[in-house]
Amino acid sequence: MTTYFTKDHEYIRVSGDTGTIGISDYAQAQLGDVVYVDLPATGKTLKQGDEAAVVESVKAASEVYAPVSGEVVEVNSALTDAPSTVNESPLDKGWFLKIKVANNNELNELMDEAAYQSYVKSLG
Amino acid sequence: MQADLKTTSLNDTHIKLGAKMVPFAGYNMPVQYPMGVMQEHLWTRERAGLFDVSHMGQCFLIPDDGKHETAARALEMLVPADILNMKPHQQRYTQFLNKDGGILDDLMVTRTAYEGHDGWLYLVVNAGCKDADYAHLEKNLPPNVKLKVSEQLALIALQGPKAASVLSKLVPQVSSMPFMTYYATKIADMMVHISRSGYTGEDGFEISVHDKDVVKLWNMLLENPDVKPIGLGARDSLRLEAGLCLYGHDIDETTSPVEAGLVWSMQKRRRIEGGFPGAARIQKELKDGASRVRVGIQPEGRAPAREGTEIVDPATNKVIGKVTSGGFGPSINGPVAMGYVEKDFATNDTALHLMVRGKALPAKIANMPFAPHRYFKPEKFKESA
């Protein structure tokens, strides 16, 4: 199981051909209190960089982009009633959706955990 | 921080408090402190929040002859409120109007009353409009009324149900001040101008103080355990729940005070007499009704509808208006919005659709404010419209 990150602060944790997508701890801290999460329909096909979900804080709405291409196989419907889970447990219980990864090569374009941490540090 | 941003005298204080600073109306301002927007909002509704609003414009209109009537008549040429009949220490909300009755800015006007400053009117205007407002005043004031822009005054707001008990520990007289009145005094050796008003729907005060004193006053207020610093994020959600307009969003040069639901701020004498810019349009709208009106909107689900969201009539799928402010109301624990709709739809409980990301979300027209106003209004001071 490996976790990859994007420059837009999404993560995808890959196990077999399933990728679990969410936003990083840095992203949730930047957003502040999450009050709503708009999740895609299962079965939807996403291309890398497509809008996969929307996360809303008190102040603003932000897009969550698909780190890689794939078909949506499951969404975290628990977030509908408890959107603050994204703040409390972004990398675990606060995941957004799972996709069937279409092309493993796309994962190579992403950062691993160490690269992402130094990327976040570079943002100051 | 962007190099061209201005700062308030509390800039370093905000940074020490751990604020997240953002550019706002040309100033580097705290959008939130470590507590976060949600908790800051709830704290203000339960206790007392302290806001730096020093970016706002503060100025005075000074009549050569020292008479209130002279300054009042000059300002009445530009705004639709009754300034002439304001009592000493009284404050009113009004709008600068253009010749078409559109709103150039909204502002607070106070009839000051302190020795050596006879007849002065004190104005507080929006940060983003202040340069244009000052130019507008310079151009339109008669020669016997001078504009004095204060570049050395800070402004802080203390808002919430504990605001009066907190401030009365420093100035006992404030506890009996009615809503929309003003009092000039000293706290320690600092000259302060206190008005009982604000932008949250709560009881509270705005305190004008010299730049050199504001850090000291801010820290004195923060020493009280009922007080926390509150950023612009919660200021926005608080005013939205209170149904208060944000200039440039809910009101602008195209909206009239009638459309915006601000008829209460135009006293009867002015409505009848006119004599302000755009009076013809406004008097016609008062008689026949405006073609569109500002309304509260309650989305039925959990999804916030943001500014710009189209409002659709579910029966015909026709666009009937647009959201001008929308977000999440922490005290309501749900989404709230306001916007303009065609007048035929402006009745409470009218069903609407909000077009959010291509989906039609059910909503209805709702009463504003969403969170009840809790102003301090002793019976005998209540203002008749």
Task: Say if A123 is an interface residue toward chain B (CB within 8 Å).
Answer: no
Exposed (0-12), middle (13-18) or buried (19+): which is B338, by Cβ within 10 Å? buried
The three-state secondary structure class of A74 is strand
Q: What is the mean pLDDT of residues B263-272?
A: 98
Task: Say if B327 is an interface residue toward chain A (CB within 8 Å).
Answer: yes
Q: Where are the alpha helices (DSSP H) in chain B?
A: 11-16, 37-46, 68-76, 130-140, 163-168, 211-222, 232-241, 268-273, 279-288
> CA of A5, closest CA in chain B: separation in Å?
25
* CA distances for A38 relative to A64, A76, B357, angstroms: 10, 10, 10
> CA of A28, closest CA in chain B: separation in Å?
12
Nearest to B306 among A33, A61, A80 (CB): A61
Residues of B in contact with A58 (CB under 8 A): 37-38, 41, 233-234, 237, 327-328, 330
Nearest to B328 among A54, A58, A80 (CB): A58
pLDDT of B380 higher than 90: no
Q: Provide the whole-model pTM.
A: 0.95
Nearest CA in chain B to A61: B306
pLDDT of B3 higher than 90: no
pLDDT in tens for each of the 124 residues of chain A? 899 999 999 999 999 999 999 999 999 999 999 999 999 999 999 999 999 999 999 988 999 999 999 999 999 999 999 999 999 999 999 999 999 999 999 999 999 999 999 999 999 7
Looking at residue B382, what is its pLDDT? 52
B302/A32 Cβ within 8 A: no
Nearest to B233 among A38, A56, A59 (CB): A59
pLDDT of B78 higher than 50: yes
ipTM of this predicted complex? 0.89
Given pLDDT bands bounded at 50, 70 and 90, which one contains residue B114? confident
Residues of A in contact with B357 (CB under 8 A): 38, 54
B303/A32 Cβ within 8 A: no
Nearest CA in chain B to A80: B302
Looking at residue B381, what is its pLDDT? 52
Q: Residue type for B129, please?
A: C
Task: Say if A82 is an interface residue toward chain B (CB within 8 Å).
Answer: no
Nearest CA in chain A to B232: A59
Task: Say if A63 is an interface residue toward chain B (CB within 8 Å).
Answer: no
- Greater confidence, B321 or B118? B321
Looking at residue B234, what is its pLDDT? 98
Q: What is the mean pLDDT of residues B308-319?
A: 98
Task: Say if A77 is an interface residue toward chain B (CB within 8 Å).
Answer: no
Nearest CA to B351 out of B316, B306, B304 is that of: B316
Looking at residue B385, what is its pLDDT? 38
Residues of B in contact with A54 (CB under 8 A): 357
CA pair distance B372, B363, nearest whole angstrom? 20
Q: Which two tokens stand for residue B47?
A: 């206790």
Residues of A in contact with B327 (CB under 8 A): 58-59
Residues of B in contact with A33 (CB under 8 A): 36-39
Interface subset of A 12-31, CB within 8 angstroms of B: none
Evaluate whether B61 touches B123 at the Cβ level (below 8 Å).
yes
